[in-house]
């Protein structure tokens, strides 16, 4: 297993903070979050939209779809999952 690279800008910034790690293991998603990073949970919405845009950019750069097509697909599945979840993620705060 090879960890993903840390972006150069994060390595160069003494104030950089890791926000999340997401792993697929045992057929499930496993997540570690810096849950206290923002006082307003709405900031996670901004982060999720930014993340979706990064994903769409990557798909476009790999000629898999246009950025707009990818973002539309992500939003369609997001909305569907929001309305009728395929699972019920659980977890707890671990110090």
pTM for the full predicted model: 0.86
Provide the 10 A C-beta neighbour count for residue 56: 21
Which pLDDT belongs to residue 95? 64
Helix then strand then coil, in percent of the chain rounded to 5, is 45, 15, 45
What is the fold of 39-86? putative pyruvate dehydrogenase fold (3.30.2370)
- Give per-residue pLDDT as tens, 32-65: 999 889 999 999 999 999 999 999 999 999 999 9
Residues 6+ apart with CB under 8 A from 22: 29, 30, 31
Nearest CA-CA partner of 47 in 20, 80, 82, 75: 20
Nearest CA-CA partner of 20 in 4, 9, 1, 42: 4
High-pLDDT (> 90) share of the chain, %: 78
């Amino acid at each position: 297993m090879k960890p993903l690279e840390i972006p150069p800008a994060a390595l160069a910034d003494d104030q950089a903070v890791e926000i999340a790690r997401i792993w697929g293991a045992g057929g499930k998603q496993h997540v570690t979050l810096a849950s206290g990073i923002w006082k307003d949970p709405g900031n996670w919405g901004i982060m999720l939209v930014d993340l979706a845009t990064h994903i769409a950019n990557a798909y476009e750069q790999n000629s898999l779809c246009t950025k707009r097509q990818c973002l539309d697909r992500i939003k369609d599945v997001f909305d569907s999952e929001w309305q009728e979840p395929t699972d019920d993620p659980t977890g707890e705060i671990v110090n």
